[in-house]
C-alpha cells in the first residue's frame, strides 16, 4: 500500500471501505473538454498539469475526454484478469497500457466518458476545504483537505447524482469502488495522488457497445457485469449530452463552472 503522499494510490483496495460521502467535492472546478485523445497523450497532459497545479500555475480542474480502444492495467492488476493475448488484442485494435492509478484492469474506448480530476488536496492557504456542498445544495463544495477517501467518495457521489438526473438509481457496493445500477457496474474509478495532487479518475460507460469488456474481467470482479447509460435508458445517449449535464451539476453556487 502506498501513502497518499506518494506516486499512486490503490483506490480499489485502500479506500473502498470508508464511509460514503453525500458531498460534491468537485464543485466549481474548471472543466476542460479534450475530445477524443490518445491515452498516452492524456497521461502526459495529466503529469504536466499535476506539476503545474503543485506550482500554483493552474486551478483545480476536471479533464473530460474519450479514448480510442485501450486496456489499462492499474497497480492492483492480476494477469489472469486479461483474457486475450497481446496478438489477439492487436488484431482487435486495442492497445494495452500500464497505469499509475489504483485498481485492477479496465477498458476505455469510444462511447465512454473519462474524467481526470487534477485537484490539490493540500493548497497553501489551508482554509478552503472546510465547506463541502451538502445534499440540499448549501455549502461551497470546497475540496477536502488531504483526504483521498473523501475525494473518492465525492467522485462516486457526483456520478450517482448524474445518474439520478436520468431517473436511474446508482449505488455503491460495500468493499468496492465505483458506481453500479442493479448488479451491473456503470462507472469505474481509480485514482493516483502525487504530493497531494490527484490525477487519473473515473470512466462512465455511455454508449451501448460494451463488447470490448469481454477481453477482461473488469476491475477483477467476476460476479457482476457492466452496463451503460444507453443500455439502461434504452436509447442512444451522446457524450456531449452527458458532459453538459455533468458541467451543470458541478456548477458552483456562484454560477461559475
67-118 pLDDT, tens digit per residue, is: 999 999 888 888 898 899 989 999 999 999 989 888 888 999 999 999 999 9
State the CB neighbour count (10 A cutoff) for residue 211.
10
User: What is the number of domains present in the chain?
Assistant: 1
Q: Catalytic annotation on 36?
A: no
Let me know if residue 257 belongs to a domain. no
The whole-number pLDDT of residue 1 equals: 28
Percent of the chain exceeding pLDDT 90 equals 61
**More confident: 8 or 27:** 27
Let me know if residue 214 belongs to a domain. yes
The whole-number pLDDT of residue 240 equals: 97
The whole-number pLDDT of residue 70 equals: 96
Let me know if residue 175 belongs to a domain. yes
Q: In this structure, what CATH number is given to the domain that contains residue 57?
A: 3.30.930.10
Show the cell assigned to 242.
452527458
Average pLDDT in the chain:
83
pLDDT exceeds 80 at position 23: no
Let me know if residue 256 belongs to a domain. no
- Catalytic hit among 36, 65, 215, 219: 219
Let me know if residue 57 belongs to a domain. yes
**More confident: 28 or 200:** 200
Prediction pTM value: 0.83
> Taking a C-beta distance cutoff of 8 angstroms, is the pair 194, 46 a contact?
no
Let me know if residue 142 belongs to a domain. yes
The whole-number pLDDT of residue 109 equals: 96
Let me know if residue 75 belongs to a domain. yes
What domain range is 233 assigned to?
A: 11-249
**More confident: 138 or 77:** 77
Let me know if residue 86 belongs to a domain. yes
Amino acid at each position: 500500500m502506498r501513502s497518499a503522499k506518494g506516486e499512486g494510490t490503490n483506490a480499489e483496495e485502500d479506500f473502498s471501505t470508508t464511509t460514503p460521502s453525500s458531498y460534491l467535492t468537485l464543485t466549481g472546478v474548471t472543466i476542460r473538454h479534450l475530445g477524443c485523445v490518445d491515452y498516452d497523450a492524456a497521461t502526459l497532459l495529466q503529469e504536466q498539469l499535476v506539476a503545474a497545479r503543485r506550482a500554483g500555475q493552474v486551478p483545480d480542474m476536471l479533464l473530460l475526454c474519450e479514448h480510442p480502444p485501450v486496456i489499462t492495467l492499474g497497480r492492483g492488476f492480476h494477469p489472469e484478469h486479461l483474457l486475450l493475448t497481446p496478438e489477439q488484442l492487436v488484431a482487435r485494435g486495442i492497445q494495452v497500457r500500464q497505469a499509475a492509478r489504483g485498481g485492477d484492469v479496465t477498458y476505455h474506448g469510444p462511447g465512454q466518458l473519462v474524467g481526470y480530476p487534477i485537484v490539490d488536496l493540500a493548497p497553501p492557504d489551508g482554509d478552503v476545504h472546510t465547506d463541502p456542498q451538502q445534499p440540499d445544495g448549501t455549502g461551497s463544495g470546497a475540496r477536502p483537505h488531504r483526504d483521498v477517501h473523501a475525494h473518492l467518495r465525492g467522485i462516486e457521489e457526483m456520478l450517482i447524482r448524474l445518474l439520478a438526473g436520468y431517473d436511474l438509481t446508482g449505488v455503491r457496493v460495500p468493499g468496492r469502488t465505483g458506481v453500479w445500477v442493479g448488479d451491473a457496474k456503470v462507472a469505474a474509478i481509480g485514482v493516483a495522488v502525487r504530493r497531494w495532487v490527484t490525477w487519473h479518475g473515473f470512466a462512465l460507460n455511455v454508449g451501448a457497445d460494451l463488447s470490448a469488456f469481454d477481453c477482461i474481467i473488469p476491475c477483477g470482479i467476476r460476479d457482476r457485469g457492466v452496463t451503460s447509460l444507453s443500455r439502461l435508458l434504452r436509447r442512444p445517449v451522446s457524450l456531449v449530452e452527458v458532459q453538459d449535464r455533468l458541467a451543470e451539476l458541478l456548477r458552483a453556487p456562484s454560477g461559475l463552472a
